[in-house]
Copies of this chain bind each other. A is one copy, B any other.
Amino acid sequence: MSNSFGKIFRITTFGESHGKAVGVVIDGCPAGIAFDLAFIQKQMNRRRPGQSKITTQRQEEDRIEVLSGIFEGYTQGTPIALLVWNEDQRSKDYSHIADKYRPSHADYTWQLKYGTRDYRGGGRSSARETLARVAAGAVAKLFLNHIGIRITAYVSQVGALKLQQHYSQLDLSEAAIESNMVRCPDPAMAAQMIDLIDHTRKNRDTIGGVVSCVISGVPVGLGEPVFDKLHAVLGKAMLSINAVKGFEYGSGFEGVAMLGSQHNDIFYTDEKGRVRTRTNYSGGIQGGISNGEDIYFRVAFKPVATIMQDQPSINQSGEQVVISGKGRHDPCVVPRAVPIVEAMAALVLADFILRNQVVKLNHIVSAYPVTTLL
């Protein structure tokens, strides 16, 4: 079923929405990282349900329990197992859909692929699985902090409300982004977005959005040049998040209308002797490898499939039925998706840092000493 992600910094997640627990095993985290549980819990809190009026009202503390891999406050190079016990399960909320296929959910495809499904809250296909990613991503962030890599995601679009500023024109401090419940760094736009989501919720409907992400402090050289290009693996990571429909980096889809003479990022040497580019349409990645400029990308999320309205559908026998909207769900997924996007980006970066260590061996054995990284 492929519940693992990463090659060296590798995670395996487990757990169903209404099972006993949801968790993750992290294999390949270096030894000697100070294990800051409060930091990890803080990331969990940014993702947890019930955090504001524009998220699901389902209440879960999502408190992390550490099962292995930490000794005297530090990682040991051994597998780190983390889990959250499920608490606020109202499995009965789901009995009415036990044999029905909810529109645009995984019910039908799952049933046909496996011959069965845990229908309670979507079971394994629930976005609750992403809490395990956020926990593991927080550990990756602890590691990346040592290297000076910063990952910042924020909401840049809700429905048709689109933030027009380039990321460099925004205040991307934690204070600014976390100052409002939609996690948009522009306060005026944030207020509009919150209104739109609230309005949509009152209409018993849902709406989509876009999460933007900026990664700075990246050393030159991350990414593998053919199939595992840095942006290809970032793209896969983002597209593996529930409800994601698209990914673009750098100039993205808008870049196709540009001329090469406009789009090319011209190299120069800055006053400190560092190689830079005058523009950054490349999005910090050239030939699949980081070039030291900011990496930035956008992730499109569709409107949540569960709506508080009656919808026609079919049951497992193929008969026409009505699905009525019940339970506690998000009217828009992007505010809670911000830490998930950051977590997946952190997992990708941590993995490529480790994969790139191999290349650095060149210092020792090669005719071509590599001197630029870390």
Contact = CB atoms under 8 A, between A and B. Distances in A.
B289 A113 contact: yes
B368 A115 contact: yes
Interface string A333-374: 000000000000000000001101111111011111110111
Contacts of A208: 255-258, 263
A83 B67 contact: yes
16 contacts: A3-B79, A12-B12, A16-B69, A30-B366, A103-B267, A104-B281, A106-B289, A110-B287, A112-B373, A113-B359, A207-B257, A226-B240, A232-B236, A236-B239, A245-B249, A246-B246
Given A27-B2, A124-B78, A248-B245, A112 B227 contact: no
Interface in A243-274: 245-253, 255-269, 273
Contacts of A3: 25, 27, 78-79, 226-227
Nearest to A77: B114
Contacts of A37: none
A1 B266 CA distance: 27
A216 interface: no
Contact of A303 (B235, B239, B263, B305): B263
B20 A227 contact: no
B255 A302 contact: yes
A65 B240 CA distance: 29
B286 A108 contact: yes
A166 interface: no
A67 B113 contact: no
B357 A360 contact: yes
B255 A13 contact: no
A163 interface: no
Contact of A253 (B245, B263, B266, B374): B245
A372 B112 contact: yes
Contacts of A171: none
Contacts of A61: none
A369 B353 CA distance: 17
9 A-B pairs with the lowest CB-CB distances in the bound complex, closest first = A106-B287, A32-B366, A115-B368, A246-B248, A206-B260, A208-B256, A109-B289, A236-B236, A146-B365
A359 B30 contact: yes
Interface stretch (A174-182, A184-192, A311-319): A311-319
A350 to B, nearest CB: 11
Interface in A4-38: 4-5, 8, 10, 12-16, 19-23, 25, 27-28, 30-34
A123 B75 CA distance: 13
Given A232-B240, A286-B105, A368-B31, A255 B303 contact: yes
A320 interface: yes
Contacts of A80: 14
A312 B87 CA distance: 53
Contacts of A369: 32, 115
Contacts of A233: 236
A23 B69 CA distance: 12
